[in-house]
């Protein structure tokens, strides 16, 4: 790859995350001179990859022209996994889903065929999309577990006897593949495109079947020594003797996950609680969780009480984060963020009760603007975050937008 080609990739990356930027913006963000940036940007415009999209708001002088990527310049395959369900989407260069998001049941725990199943699902999904692989920049996969990004392996799930998850899927599908922990990629989505944009220190809590955490420190994702930082679910908070999925007892997860919400809802129905909920089942846990979330949003008293109790317990964990890291922002993201503002009061109550006021006074708790799509957006962002250095991706983009 020539230096000019590499620099144009950097511009494409900045425009992907920036949406609309001026030539001056691009010059500053890439730390290149304005003439160098102008030359590369003009080439991208001539090749039909970048389009002029109007002018910036006036600040007193001549308004600068604004530029953005052509939406169909290329695409990214985004794969968002949890322990039970895998969702797949194709995203364009404006972060919009092309076609529909497809959900498939793919159990990860105790499933030796999970990796082969994942590869086959991705192959089938790409083929059904009708989009040429020549127009796909890469595949980003968000997954639960202890993910070693450098080695391309997951110590918890999707194990392979030889090579890595990355090499296995790349060999089968024929496209560059990147993987990362689901909560880390939700945090990346919030940092680049969501509620934590331009924030220096923020904690992004992924409320799902567990309660994950992505940490943004000094404006960057913090992963810890081995890349495993953020195991919020497994902070020992309770003396409830409940066994956690990690094999320990009393972890935060045992009183805060959506799985706990489902279990408590089903128990409440058995006890004759007054509620509009019915036909809840662990066999269809995704539909069950969605039904409980929707009931709470609509004001079902029993459902609201469930999330209030869970929210307070999440708040106890948040209080620990505030004491340790003093963040400016706590973002509630992931599947469970669909409950919306119902989380805020019980979490704030726990903060009020368990935090030293001076430490907590400037920390804001906020619901994600990306919601359940944060993981999908984060997996796509993983590809574009690495686009300028992605070794296996095609180096040039032709005039008609096809990767060549």
| Average pLDDT of the segment spanning 252-268 | 93
pLDDT at 235 over 80: yes
Fold agreement between 75-185+376-389 and 195-369: yes
Query: Given this model, what pLDDT does residue 119 score?
Result: 96
pLDDT at 243 over 90: no
Q: What share of the chain is helix, strand, coil (3-state, %, to 5)?
A: 45, 20, 35
pLDDT tens for 162-177 read: 889 999 999 999 999 9
pLDDT tens for 109-133 read: 999 999 999 999 999 999 999 999 9
Exposure pattern of 231-256 as b/e (b: 16+ CB <10 Å)? bbbbbebbeeeeebbeeeebbbbbbb
| Average pLDDT of the segment spanning 79-102 | 94
At the topology level, CATH places domain 75-185+376-389 in Nucleotidyltransferase; domain 5 (3.30.420)
Comparison of pLDDT for 256 and 60, the residue scoring more: 256
Q: How confident is the model at residue 400 (pLDDT cuts 50, 70, 90)?
A: very low
Mean pLDDT rounded to a whole number for the chain: 91
| Average pLDDT of the segment spanning 41-53 | 93
Tokens in use for 213? Answer: 């955490």
Handedness of CA 357, 359, 363, 365 (dihedral sign): negative
Query: Given this model, what pLDDT does residue 395 score?
Result: 45
pLDDT at 105 over 70: yes
Query: Given this model, what pLDDT does residue 266 score?
Result: 94
Please tell us whether the domain made up of 195-369 is placed in CATH 3.30.420.40: yes
Report the greatest alpha carbon distance in the chain. 72
Distance CA 200, CA 220 (A): 8
Percent of the chain with pLDDT over 90: 78
pLDDT tens for 21-36 read: 999 999 999 999 999 9
Query: Given this model, what pLDDT does residue 366 score?
Result: 96
pLDDT at 78 over 80: yes
pLDDT at 255 over 50: yes
| Average pLDDT of the segment spanning 215-233 | 89
> Any idea where the domains of the chain sit in the sequence?
3-69, 75-185+376-389, 195-369
Q: How confident is the model at residue 404 (pLDDT cuts 50, 70, 90)?
A: very low
Q: How confident is the model at residue 286 (pLDDT cuts 50, 70, 90)?
A: confident
Q: State the residue for tokens 């895998």.
A: 86
pTM for this predicted structure: 0.91
pLDDT at 392 over 60: no
Distance CA 196, CA 178 (A): 23
Query: Given this model, what pLDDT does residue 402 score?
Result: 41
Percent of the chain with pLDDT over 70: 96
Query: Given this model, what pLDDT does residue 3 score?
Result: 85
pLDDT at 382 over 60: yes
Query: Given this model, what pLDDT does residue 231 score?
Result: 87
pLDDT at 4 over 90: no
| Average pLDDT of the segment spanning 281-293 | 89
The distance from CA 335 to its chain's CA centroid, rounded to whole angstroms, is: 11
pLDDT at 393 over 60: no
pLDDT tens for 307-334 read: 999 999 999 999 999 999 999 999 999 9
Q: What is the CATH number of domain 3-69?
A: 1.10.10.10
227-234 long-range contacts, Cβ below 8 Å, gap at least 24? 227/147, 227/148, 227/149, 227/150, 227/181, 228/146, 230/181, 230/183, 230/184, 232/183, 232/205, 232/317, 232/321, 233/257
Nearest alpha carbon to residue 136 among 399, 397, 322: 397
Q: Are strands 21-22 and 65-69 parallel, antiparallel or unpaired?
A: antiparallel
């Amino acid at each position: 790859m020539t230096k000019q080609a590499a620099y144009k990739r950097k511009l494409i990356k900045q425009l992907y995350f920036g949406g609309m930027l001026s030539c001056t913006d691009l010059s500053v963000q890439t730390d290149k001179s304005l003439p160098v940036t102008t030359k590369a940007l003009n080439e991208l415009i001539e090749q039909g990859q970048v389009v002029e999209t109007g002018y910036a708001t006036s600040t007193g002088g001549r308004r600068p022209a604004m530029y953005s990527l052509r939406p169909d310049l290329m695409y990214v395959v985004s794969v968002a996994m949890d322990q039970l369900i895998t969702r797949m989407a194709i995203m364009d260069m404006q972060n919009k889903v092309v076609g529909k998001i497809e959900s498939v049941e793919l159990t990860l725990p105790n499933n030796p065929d999970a990796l082969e199943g994942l590869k086959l699902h991705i192959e089938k999904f790409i083929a059904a999309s009708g989009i040429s692989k020549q127009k796909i920049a890469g595949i980003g996969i968000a997954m639960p577990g202890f993910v070693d990004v450098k080695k391309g392996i997951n110590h918890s799930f999707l194990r392979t006897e030889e090579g890595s998850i990355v090499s296995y899927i790349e060999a089968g599908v024929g496209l560059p593949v990147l993987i990362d922990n689901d909560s880390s990629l939700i945090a990346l989505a919030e940092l680049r495109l969501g509620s934590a944009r331009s924030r220096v220190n923020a904690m992004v809590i992924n409320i799902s079947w567990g309660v994950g955490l992505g940490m943004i420190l000094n404006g960057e994702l913090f992963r810890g020594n081995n890349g495993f930082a953020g195991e919020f679910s497994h902070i020992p908070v309770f003396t409830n003797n409940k066994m956690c999925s990690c094999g320990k007892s009393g972890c935060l997860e045992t009183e805060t996950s959506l799985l706990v919400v489902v279990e408590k809802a089903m128990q409440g129905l058995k006890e004759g609680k007054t509620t509009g909920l019915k036909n809840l089942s662990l066999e269809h846990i995704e539909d069950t969780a969605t039904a409980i979330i929707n009931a709470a949003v609509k004001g079902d008293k029993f459902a609201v009480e469930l999330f209030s109790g869970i929210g307070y317990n999440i708040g106890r964990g948040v209080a620990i984060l505030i004491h340790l890291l003093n963040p400016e922002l706590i973002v509630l993201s992931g599947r469970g963020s669909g409950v919306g503002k119902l989380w805020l009061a019980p979490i704030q109550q726990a903060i009020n009760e368990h935090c030293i006021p001076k430490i907590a006074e400037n920390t804001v708790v906020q619901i994600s603007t990306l919601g359940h799509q944060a993981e999908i957006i984060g997996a796509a962002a993983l590809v574009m975050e690495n686009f300028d250095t992605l070794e296996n991706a095609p180096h040039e983009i032709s005039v008609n937008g096809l990767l060549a």
